[in-house]
Each structure stands twice: as structure tokens, then as C-alpha cells.
Structure 1
Amino acid sequence: MEQLIPKLADVWQEHLDADSEASGRRLGNVLGTEWKGWVRDITALPGWAAVQAWQPQDRRGPAMHLHALACAGRLDWPAQRDLLRHLAAQDAPWTSAHLSWCLRQVARGAGHDGELLHLELPAALAAGLPGAQLVGHRRALEAVLAIVEENPPVDVRLERRLRTALNIGIRKAGDHVLPVWLGQSAGTLGAAVQDRLGDVLRGTGVGDLLDHCSTLEKLTPDVRWRRRAEQLLAATAGGDDVVRGILGCFAEHTSYVLDEADRLLRALTWLLAADPGPAATALLARVTDTAALSARGDGHPRAPLTANASVTLLARRDGDVPLTTLARLSTAVRNKGLQKRVRAAFAQLGEARGRTYAEMLELCVDTHGLDADGRHTEQVGGHQAVVALVDERPRLSFRDGETVLRSVPAAVRDGFPADLKRLQELVKEIGRTVTAERRRVESVLSEERDWAYADWVARYLDHPVTGVFGRSLIWETGDGEGWTAGIPVRDRGGWALRGPDGLTVRGTRVRLWHPVRAAAAQVARWRDHVAAGALRQPFKQAFREVYRLTPAEEQTATYSNRFAAHILRYRQANALMRVRGWHAGYLGPWDGGHHSAAARELGGGGWRASFDHTLADGMGGGDHEARYCGTDQVRFARRDGRGWRDVPLAEVPVPVFSEAMRDVDLFVGVTSIAADPQWADHGDRRFDEYWRSAGFGELTPTAQMRREALERLLPRTRLAGRTSLGERWLRVRGSLGAYRIHLGSGNVLREPDDAYLCIVPARSPAVRLPFDEDTVLNAIVAKAFLLAADEKITDPSILRQLRR
């Protein structure tokens, strides 16, 4: 690296070396021998006050001496390291010559293995020197940054300081405006910022403002950082436009961002928060949405640092936008720490309004300007643009008179691109609200809640988004003595409930119907009603699985082994847990990584279920990724103040127990290796015995519900004459043979020798199911249609098996 460092006169080198040695003696005189002991906080030493009293030029020599020790691998004591960090961060009359000397020490020395302490001072100089002093140092600084990226130190905070400072120096040395990493390492974000802001980025002070924003380490900036930020913002040409432009580009970003970008964005949100106006609030809400949500559905926020700060700032603002945004995120966010912050902020807003958390969630669902029928209409480019909820999904369409156009009209696409983009963004926002609201309404099934009739109508029927779900669900009404179930219908008196017998009822209170509280005859009537096509539900309700305590669970008392000893595909299982709102530590080859307990709050937050699972086979692959996990106990706890108290299963409310066990059954049923039709071809024999026993064994409650659904659905399809249901199997008669499909796993055996057939259905079944969430049921129906017409099969892999 030394050939990259600008050459200086020998007299300079000798002078700086001498300055460093003299400063070493001075440090010993001021701090005594304690600074070479195990004092971790340098500010605790008696001599620290004297160090603070030094003039700026007097701090330079001691910092150089400590840097020389670090480069020689002799910076051994915590107090020395702490002092180097303090001195590097303070102002001193540094020059380009000092930076060259520091870099030459780095190039010649061995450093301190794995800690990179010898880069602390040159990184700080690179960030602090003006661009004119950094001319000629760009390649050397890039080489130092490469050291950090290839060998990151164990101390994460040191790594952040080094990366941030070196990037700032590289930017100034190369005469860039945007931080280098924003353009190179954050996908399309840097390009989008360049396109949107253009010449604004070349305004006076823009680079210095962004450099300062990149240095924000804390969630809440201190007074010194804020004062400097305000000065730079005021001195920056178009400073407000830069802040809003970068945040606006991020709000439209679809990928994760690097830590450096995350810190910059977090700082910009603090600058934006100084504007109390509604436009700033709307932008802050969009930034919060983008930062908090996952880009790939894995639960990890796109920008966690920005998300934490923006949630805090959004909760401090007035109006409906913060309420609707935080309400949506409280159910949509999957990261445990961020979810806790969102819910705490939202609960605080609710307390200020005298509302419970659950009430606030219901009252703050965004309407997005939709009318009571879930539509928004406006004229654009001579055409009528319609945003509407169709089959629970937002759609944008255009009309020319009474004709619905198949695509976006050219007049709109070319003449009104801003309006088209705004409408497309509206569709995305509605989609996010619909997804969060479906999840929230389903969670009410575990709660013991009821509503006054007028409140229920306003919140669950007349609302343009929630009403899409509420009007398709079964509810119960009563006066506290008894409950009568029905589906919402309109009559002359307004909304009422109508049962499968056609009778209409009203009551003073309403609650969401759950089959666990209903008699078997009533449940059967509703399932017949739904299967007949009279109702398509947003999630399983009539056909919802019911889980009650078994004799074995009464014996174990405090835990359930009902779903223990299964082998799951771990990555899929962990992802599904997150989707269903369960939080779990990730399994892997680290301390504590052998075991995890996924947990979810139910019953409105008053109850918690936990599901133990462990590594089943060590690690697989070169990336040390966990492939399989083994399942274990399910336990329950009740909220006790700020903590939780374990309780016996018999004390858990029936809806809470049923909903928790249903989720665990879902994890097992969907991600078990028994449900993998290609398992036999994996060549992995360790779990073959489990695969055979679970893949063709007794049915779980979920599988039993599939059987009941098929019993009602099949007679209404063209499979009626070619299928029959057994206790565990759906038998299908084709032209070439007969087959049995297991109702639990979807695995297929061919009669009469029970030869296993590996079939992976390539499309959805040719029949409309009353619910979409059971992927195994979809696969069973698709396989049944395929095998009933086996003479038409063209897939070569299936044909080879049939001829075998």
C-alpha cells in the first residue's frame, strides 16, 4: 500500500516520528502507570481532566504515539485503546502530511491481529480533513477500506466508525457529492437519487451535510450532533430538497440497504422531523413503511436503524396518518424488537385518546379514499380510472365510457405519467393495508371480544377495507344470554345476520363466530352452506380446525407433546412461523443455536404460546445452514405485569389453545419432510423411517378437516364418479390404474402394490375452493384431477413411474 501514499520530505517524517516519541513520554507523565492497566474507561483516570485541558495542537502528538503503538501491535491495554478513540474523534490541526504519516505506519506495521485498531486514526483524519487536503489519497484510502471489508473487526462499533469515516474521505478525495457506497452498494437507490435530484446534489454544502448525517451512531442524536446538523442544513443550497429527495427515493425502494445507507437515512428522518407540516408527516409515514417491512418476506426490516427512528418520530406527530401507519405496521412487522417498538408507540397514542390497543387497531384502518363499496374513481387523460377491491385484492383499471380497457391507455401512460404512478402507488398502499387487516381480523378468533351492534357495523361492515372481510365472515349476535350465528346481509332496517336456514336476527352485542364454541350440528350446517358455494371466506372459519385438550395433555398438565418428534425443513418452517406471527431465534452453529422456542402472543396479547424445536442433524452445506429441525413441546404462559407466568393447559382459554395448536399443526403439516413428494429421490436415508410413518400415517386435525372439506366438495365436481374417501386416503380411479392420495401429506401410492409416485402438481386445481390457505388440499385436488385423467398425462417423469 505504501506506493499509493503521497511522498513527503524526510524532514517531515523525522519531525512527526519525534513528535510521536515525545508524546509517549508526556502521556506517561500525565496519566501515570494506571493507563497501562485494566482500566476500561479512560475518563475514570485522575489524569483525564488534564488531557481534556490540552490545546488542540497538543492532542495531536499523543494520538500519533498511540497510533504507532497500534501499528506495531503494542496497544495492549483497554485504557490505551479508549484514549486513542477519544483523541482521534477530537479536533486538532491535522494536515495531509499527518495522514500520509499515519498511512505509512499502517503499511509498515503489523497492526493488532483481528482488531484493526491501527486504522482508527487515519480513518478519523480522512473524515475530518477538507477535500483539498485529501487530493492524492483516494487510492490509499480505498486500500484501507478494503482491509476493513475483507477482515472486519470483532468490535462492530469500530467497524462502523471505520467504514463511515473512510467512505467520507474517499468521497471527498474523489470530489463526489453522494457518499460512494450509496451509488455502488445500495442497488438502485443511488441511481434513483441521482436521477431525481440531478443538479441539486452539486449545490454548496450538500456533501458536508450528507457526511455529517453518515456519522449518526445513536438512535436519538445528541445536542451537539443536532446543532451541527442544523448549521449544515441552513448552509446547504437546496438542503430541504436534498433531504426530501433522498427519503422519497428510499420510500419507493424495494431492496435492503447497507448499514451505511441505513445510518444516513436515519439521520435524514431526524432532519425531516423538524418540519411539522402534513407533507413531511406523509413522507415520514412512507419512509416508516418501507424501512420497517421486509423485502423478501423473511421478517427482516429493509432498514432497521431507520425503522426504529422513524417509528419514534412518527408517534410524536398529530393527525390520522401516524395512527393508520402504525396500526398497519403493528400487525405487518415481523421483527420482534421493531414490532415491540411499533406496538408501544401505537399503544401510547391510544392511551392519550382513552382507547384500548385493540380498539385503536380497529378505528385506525386506512380507507385510502375508497367509498363504502371499496372503489375510488377519477378522470385521467379523458378516461375513467378505477381503483377497486376485487376478490379482496386492489386493482387499477381504466374505462372508456362503459368499456373496460385491457391495459393502460396510451393517452394516460404518455400524457399523465405522474397521475398513473400515483394511482399505482395507491394500489400498493391498499394492498399492504388489506394484507395487514386480513391478519388482524383472523387474530380476533383467539380473543374473547364482542361489540355493540352499531360499533360492529361501523368497524367491520361499512369500512371500505375491513368490510371486504367482515361481510364474508360468520358472526354471532345476542344479548348476553344466548348467541345466534349468521352472515351479514342488508335489509330495510340496515345490517342484520342471516343463518343458513334463511332467518334474519339482530341483537345488542356481536362477536366473531368460532367453531370451537359451537355445537357439532351447527358447525356441520355452516360447512355445508360454505361448500355449496354460498360463501367464500377470506380465511378458514367454517372449516377451521378445532383443537381441544386430549387425555394425554391432561396428564402432562403443563405442556403438550401432540406435535413432538416431527422432522421439519427448517428454513421453510422458520419462514412460516414468522408469517404466522411467531418469533424465534434462528438455529445454527453458535452458542445457544441448537435449541429455539418460537413464541406468539394470542388472546389480544394476554396469552403466549411457545413451540420448542431443535437442530435435527447438525449443519448441512458449505454455508453451515440448518436444514432440518425436530419438534418438541408446546407450552403456554399468561401475562403477569411486564413478564409472563407459565400456566397449566387446563387454564388456557379454549380459543387461545385451539388457535395456537392450529398454527403448530400448520408448521408440521406444511414443512414436514413427510409432505415432500421428492423426498425419496434426495438420497438422504437418515429420516426415511419418519418419512414413511408420518407421510402415510394417522391424520392430524388439519388433515381430518381436509377430509371433511373433500367430502362436501367432490360430489360437486367431475371427480364424483372417480373418487372415494377412506379414513386416511382419497382413492382415485384413472384409465390406467387406481391410486391413493394420503390426506395428511398429499403423497400418492399406486394400487395394488403401493408403489410410491412422485408427483409435483404444476398448476392449481380446476375447482374453486372455499379457502386458499391450505396448500396441501390444493395439491391433493390437483393430483386427483391429474390421476383421474391419467391417459392424458404427458409429463415424462410421471410416465416413467407409471410404466415401471
Structure 2
Amino acid sequence: KGERLLALLQILDRAEIPVKALDDALRRAELTPLEAQRAIELITAAGEAYASVGAFLPSRLPTDDHPVPRYTSFGDVVRPFVDTSPHREGWLTLLRHCAEVGTRRTPTQRWRTRIRELATDVPLEPVAGWMTIELAWTGPGSRSGDLEPTRTLVRGLVWALADRGDLAADLGRFAERCLRKNDIWGEKLGNTVLDVLAELPDQAGVAQLSRLKSKVRTTPSRRALHAALETAATRAGLTGEELEEAAVPRFGLVDGQREQPVAGFVARLTCDPPALTWIDAKGKALRSVPAAVKRDAPDALAALQAELKELRSTLTTQRHRLQRLWLQDRSIGPEAFQARYLDHPLVGPMTRRLIWETASGTLLLGDTTDEAMRLWHPATGAEDALLVWRDRLEELEIEQPFPQLWRPVYALQPERFAGRTCDQRQLAELAKHRGWGFPLAGHHGTPDPPGKVFGDTVVRLWLEGDEPNIPYDRVRLVGMDIDAELSPVHASELMYELDVMTAISRRSEDEGALGPLGRARLAVLERALGRIRLDAHIDDPWLVVGERRIHIGSGLAQGEPVKPTAASRTKAKAVFLPHDDPTLVEILALAFTLS
């Protein structure tokens, strides 16, 4: 019967019968699963001459009762796994139930109760690996529309993991991937993952939701992320900010490190700095992963390397969160400060390198009292106190996790960014990374200017120009309250963000006078030159090395292009700097090369 069907389809195709006729013929074909599979194999083997037939045939023919759809990259991996698993019947039952998850954003309680029961019959760890598959159609022709059954199935699988806090990192990575623009897994599936992260036990998914704040770009996805965080906070009886503080993972670290025996060696995981070090039986630290570990314990090695990657990502997230404290204008109670900040294995090392202010106005470094604490901002301090703290941290060689003592202080002033022309797309990416809503403008402009909330005030940017280049014109403040105005800290942080974003996205480098950002770098450079052997001096806004000059704002050398040598980069990285500044490191590397 399969051969006769193939012959019929070939005749119809040669006669250029409309697709509807072929479609009707397939619908009337009553084939058993084996006959249908044979027909599919025959038509696939017919080659490119009948690609128009193969392009739509598989979905019309009955195949089998397997819940995982054929002809997708997902099915190509999952079907063989399920069919050869000792838990085959359990997997098939669970997958059939997953396929019935429905279209509602949150499945029914009855469906969820059943999926919890079924999830106890199979080991769910392989699902984490399935979420790394690039979804694609692998059958004949192009069938992207037939990927929806697979997406529905995966939605059900994601909900099956709602009690697996140990898989939070895998779910977080899958959410980030789904929420990327134009990803074929789709935003709908990504929003499902956010909902599941919010429901994981012991707030295991909150750290992932917090990390995604700097990854998610589109406005709908940001709203879904905010809603997921609010859901998790409500379940925990905390505010969103308190929940993010309380849910920072500890990675099993004690005194900043954790040791684990692996294949006769000891793996030491540390967070300050984040590293994975291998120790042999004599207690000697090795330069690379031992060959015995690679050979005898590849799974343990892969798990440790994945954990190190997650630890680094978490540290970056926490640096961003600490800086958001300035915008939240929050005070932290003494007990919460001790437990969630000073004593936390990840947040603690960063906390102890920052200046904190008590409710009575006392400034502390790495200490606490019985008063509420807030992160101190230089916009609220006196110049003489700032200089004293700079000297103290420099003497102790304490590198801050982000600029605090050396943070430029700005005041609102007219035409601060006059004349700056920025690449719109790069500016938009930088802005979205910092929480701005930034719709791209075309030749006819945009009805919704970029904006962000600072305190009780909505700040909107008014830009002029043709895509892709936008001359940065002016910043307007749109108050939620008619009398609302920005505090000195919020005003300074607003201008700091705009200065950083426009400096990075500028279409041409500025070699004029230094702004606050450049002047802060100049002050750090002046101190560094006093501690190192380098034949150079500062002639504002330049660092002069022999007959060459390097602009302190842009980091570019005048004259013929010059590339720092590897030895110069090593020397530059060895210079103590009070905070991480890649541009300043590049300036020092250029200076060492030219000297």
C-alpha cells in the first residue's frame, strides 16, 4: 500500500496537481503505523525531485503512539533515550501527560498533581541535558510550523521540574536561551521557565531570576521576570529586594572555599578570586587538571567546572545588585546585614571592601553595629573624608568590587552630553543591560522615548537623529509626582550611567577635556604613577610617554597605532588599582610598551 501511495503522489506531483489535492489524498489514506513509516522512508528516498511532496507528508501520515514527535532535533535525541531506558513505560506515561499541559500559562491543579506523581517514577536529571538541544526540524523539507508540539511537550517537562531545586541553574540557562530575541524555542516557553523558577522550593530559583535581570532585553520578558520575582517574594513573605538578599546561593563554601576529593586528588573551589584548584596527595597545588581526573572522573570534573562557571556568574550578579542599593535607597537592619552580607561566603568579601554608613552617619569598613546600614555614596560625603578613605584603602591595597570611593559625582546640568553622537543599537544594548526601556528609533523616530525609574521619578531620554546614529541631545525628567525631583545620589547615578553608556557607544573618540568619568581615572592614574617605575607624566587630558601621548578618557595613543606587548600587559595588570578599570589597564599597558 505504501508503494502504491508513492506512485500516486509521484503522478500527482508531475501533473502539478494543487497542494490541496495532495493534502486530501493523504487524509484519505488509511495506513497502519508500519505502512505509514515505510511510505515515509520511500518518499524520503525519492530525493530532491519530490521534495515538494516530502515537505508536508510526515504530519499527514499516522506514525505511532510515541509522545515525542519525530523529525525534530529534540525527538532525534529523546526518542532513542526513552525507548532504551529501563524506565521506558514510566517515561512514556510522563511524556504523554506533558503533552497534555494545555495552553494556559499555569497548568490546572489536577494536571500538576498528576505530574508530581509521575515524576517520582523516573530520574528527571536527563531533562536538563535535553534543554541544551538546538530545536530544529530534521525531516524532509522545511517544517518549522510543526515544532509547536515539541514546544508544548517541553513546557510540560519544565513544569515536571517544579520540585527540583537542584536543577535551578539548568532552568536558568534554558530561560536565558528561550528569551533571546528570535530564539526558536520561543518567549512563551521562556516565560514558563520563569514561572517554574519562582516556585522552586527553598527559593532555589531566585538567584537565577536575579541573574536574568541583566540578561533579558525585551520589555515583555522583563515584565514576566518582574512578575516571577514578585510571585517568589509573596510566597516567602518578603519584599523583592529582601528575597534577592536571602536567596544568594552559598555553593557549600566555608571561609570562602570548599574542598572535594576526586580520583585521588582534592578539588578546591574558591570565590575570592573565583577559581578551581587541584591539590595532589602531597598538598601541592597543580597548574592544570590532573590527567587521572580527566580519565577516571569526567562527570565529576564537568560538574565542578559548571559550578565554577555558575559561581562567577553569581558574583557578577551580586556586584550589580549591590550597586542597585543606591537606587533603592534602602537601609538594612543589623541582623540581616550580618547574616546576608558580612557572613555570606560570596557577598561577604565584597561587603568588607565597601564603605557602609550607619543610621547615625558613621562610616564603617567591613564592620557592623546595632544600627541599620546603607551603602555609602560619595555624593553624600565631604571631600576631606573621601580623601582619608582613599588613602586608607590604598595603604591596605584593598581593591573594591566596583568604583565607590573613586566613583565620579555628577550634578544635573544643561547640555552635559551635547555633541555626542552614539551608535543607536550599541547604546540600546548597554541601556537594556542597565534596566532601561529602549525601543529602537527608525527614520520616523519613536513614540516612546527610552526611560527608567530612579526613585519616584521616571527619567526619559529625548534623542534626535537618523538610525543607526543618534546625536545624544538632552535628558528630561518626568515626575510621577508633580513635585518629585531626583536626590543627589539618584541624579549622580543617572548621569554616571549616561556617561558610561554614551562613552562606550560613541561613533568617534573624544580627545577633548575630561568629564567626571575621565577625571576620576586621572586621579587614580596620578596615584599609580607615584608607586611604579614608568617614565611618564600627566599633561591633562594626556598621559605623556616620551614623545607620544595617550588620552586618559579614550585610552587611545596619538600618532601611529601601537599595540601593547604581552609583557607590558602583564606589568600593567600587576599594578594595584583601587577598582577594576579595563581602560586604565590598557593605558598603562600602552605606556609600558612606549617607555
Please state which band the TM-score falls in when normalised by the shorter chain.
0.7 to 0.9
Q: Which residue in 1 is equivalent to 2:35?
A: 132
1:739 aligns with 2:548: yes
Q: With a CA cutoff of 8 Å and minimum separation of 6, indicate the structure with the bigger relative contact order.
A: 2
1:632 aligns with 2:473: yes
1:703 aligns with 2:518: yes
Q: Which residue in 1 is equivalent to 2:127?
A: 247
Q: Which residue in 2 is equivalent to 1:518?
A: 381
C-alpha change, 1:139 and 1:255, in structure 2 (3 Å) is same
1:652 aligns with 2:486: yes
Q: Indicate conservation of the 8 Å contact 1:609/1:636, yes or no.
A: yes
1:783 aligns with 2:590: yes
For 1:347, the aligned partner's letter is E
1:267 to 134, 150, 153: 153
C-alpha change, 1:351 and 1:122, in structure 2 (3 Å) is farther
C-alpha change, 1:213 and 1:366, in structure 2 (3 Å) is same
Q: Give the alignment of 1:634-783 within 5 angstroms.
A: 634-637=475-478, 645=480, 651-675=485-509, 695-719=510-534, 722-733=535-546, 738-749=547-558, 756-761=559-564, 764=569, 765-770=572-577, 773-783=580-590
Kindly state the Cα deviation for residue 541 of structure 1 after the two structures are TM-superposed: 0.9
Q: Indicate conservation of the 8 Å contact 1:396/1:423, yes or no.
A: no
Distance in 1 (CA, whole Å) between partners of 2:100 and 2:22 is 17
Q: C-alpha deviations, 1:233-257, integer Å up to 9, x for none?
A: 98xxx99659x36522135x38687
C-alpha change, 1:779 and 1:510, in structure 2 (3 Å) is same
Kindly state the Cα deviation for residue 528 of structure 1 after the two structures are TM-superposed: 3.3
Which protein has the larger Cα radius of gyration, Structure 1 or Structure 2?
Answer: 1
Kindly state the Cα deviation for residue 741 of structure 1 after the two structures are TM-superposed: 2.0
TM-score by length of 2: 0.80
SS at match of 2:127: helix
Distance in 1 (CA, whole Å) between partners of 2:206 and 2:438 is 28
Q: Which residue in 2 is equivalent to 1:25?
A: none
Q: Which residue in 2 is equivalent to 1:180?
A: 71
C-alpha change, 1:585 and 1:773, in structure 2 (3 Å) is farther
Kindly state the Cα deviation for residue 706 of structure 1 after the two structures are TM-superposed: 1.4
Q: Indicate conservation of the 8 Å contact 1:597/1:611, yes or no.
A: yes
Q: Give the alignment of 1:343-742 within 5 angstroms.
A: 343-371=226-254, 373-391=255-273, 393-479=274-360, 483-488=361-366, 495-496=367-368, 506=369, 508-532=371-395, 534-550=397-413, 552=414, 561-587=415-441, 597-603=449-455, 606-613=456-463, 616=466, 618=467, 626=468, 628-637=469-478, 645=480, 651-675=485-509, 695-719=510-534, 722-733=535-546, 738-742=547-551
Q: Indicate conservation of the 8 Å contact 2:191/2:221, yes or no.
A: yes
Q: Which residue in 1 is equivalent to 2:105?
A: 220
For 1:572, the aligned partner's letter is Q
Kindly state the Cα deviation for residue 430 of structure 1 after the two structures are TM-superposed: 1.9
Q: C-alpha deviations, 1:84-115, integer Å up to 9, x for none?
A: xxxxxxxxxxxxxxxx699869943388xxxx
Q: C-alpha deviations, 1:716-756, integer Å up to 9, x for none?
A: 1212xx322233222222xxxx122222223333xxxxxx3
Kindly state the Cα deviation for residue 359 of structure 1 after the two structures are TM-superposed: 1.0
Kindly state the Cα deviation for residue 515 of structure 1 after the two structures are TM-superposed: 0.7
Q: C-alpha deviations, 1:332-391, integer Å up to 9, x for none?
A: 5444322322222222232343321111111111112222x2212222223222111132
Distance in 2 (CA, whole Å) between partners of 1:120 and 1:209 is 33
Q: Indicate conservation of the 8 Å contact 2:277/2:285, yes or no.
A: no
Q: C-alpha deviations, 1:199-236, integer Å up to 9, x for none?
A: 2399679899979967988353877x969x989x98xx
C-alpha change, 1:744 and 1:331, in structure 2 (3 Å) is closer
Q: RMSD of aligned C-alpha atoms?
A: 4.7
% of aligned pairs identical? 25
Kindly state the Cα deviation for residue 286 of structure 1 after the two structures are TM-superposed: 3.8
Q: Which residue in 2 is equivalent to 1:321?
A: 204
Distance in 2 (CA, whole Å) between partners of 1:761 and 1:209 is 58
Distance in 2 (CA, whole Å) between partners of 1:714 and 1:128 is 83
Distance in 1 (CA, whole Å) between partners of 2:357 and 2:557 is 41
For 1:290, the aligned partner's letter is R
Q: Which residue in 2 is equivalent to 1:200?
A: 85
Structure 2 alignment gaps of length 5 or more: 138-143
For 1:309, the aligned partner's letter is T
Q: C-alpha deviations, 1:676-707, integer Å up to 9, x for none?
A: xxxxxxxxxxxxxxxxxxx2222222112111
Q: Indicate conservation of the 8 Å contact 2:341/2:348, yes or no.
A: yes
Q: Indicate conservation of the 8 Å contact 2:178/2:187, yes or no.
A: no
Q: How many residues align?
A: 578
Q: Indicate conservation of the 8 Å contact 1:636/1:647, yes or no.
A: no
C-alpha change, 1:222 and 1:743, in structure 2 (3 Å) is closer
C-alpha change, 1:669 and 1:743, in structure 2 (3 Å) is same
SS at match of 1:136: helix
For 2:404, the aligned partner's letter is Q
Distance in 2 (CA, whole Å) between partners of 1:665 and 1:183 is 45
TM-score by length of 1: 0.61
Kindly state the Cα deviation for residue 539 of structure 1 after the two structures are TM-superposed: 0.8
Kindly state the Cα deviation for residue 656 of structure 1 after the two structures are TM-superposed: 1.7
For 2:552, the aligned partner's letter is L
Q: Indicate conservation of the 8 Å contact 1:387/1:427, yes or no.
A: yes
C-alpha change, 1:171 and 1:433, in structure 2 (3 Å) is farther
SS at match of 1:716: coil
For 2:560, the aligned partner's letter is L
Kindly state the Cα deviation for residue 517 of structure 1 after the two structures are TM-superposed: 0.8
1:282 aligns with 2:166: yes
SS at match of 1:486: strand
SS at match of 2:129: helix
For 2:421, the aligned partner's letter is I
For 1:776, the aligned partner's letter is T
Q: Indicate conservation of the 8 Å contact 1:350/1:360, yes or no.
A: yes
Distance in 2 (CA, whole Å) between partners of 1:613 and 1:545 is 24
Q: Give the alignment of 1:3-82 within 5 angstroms.
A: 6-8=6-8
Kindly state the Cα deviation for residue 567 of structure 1 after the two structures are TM-superposed: 2.0
C-alpha change, 1:602 and 1:778, in structure 2 (3 Å) is farther
Deviates more, 1:431-440 or 1:415-424: 415-424
Q: Indicate conservation of the 8 Å contact 1:219/1:309, yes or no.
A: no
Q: Indicate conservation of the 8 Å contact 2:431/2:501, yes or no.
A: yes
Q: Indicate conservation of the 8 Å contact 1:731/1:739, yes or no.
A: yes
Q: Which residue in 2 is equivalent to 1:62?
A: none
Distance in 1 (CA, whole Å) between partners of 2:241 and 2:39 is 61
C-alpha change, 1:728 and 1:321, in structure 2 (3 Å) is same
Kindly state the Cα deviation for residue 595 of structure 1 after the two structures are TM-superposed: 7.7
C-alpha change, 1:315 and 1:417, in structure 2 (3 Å) is same
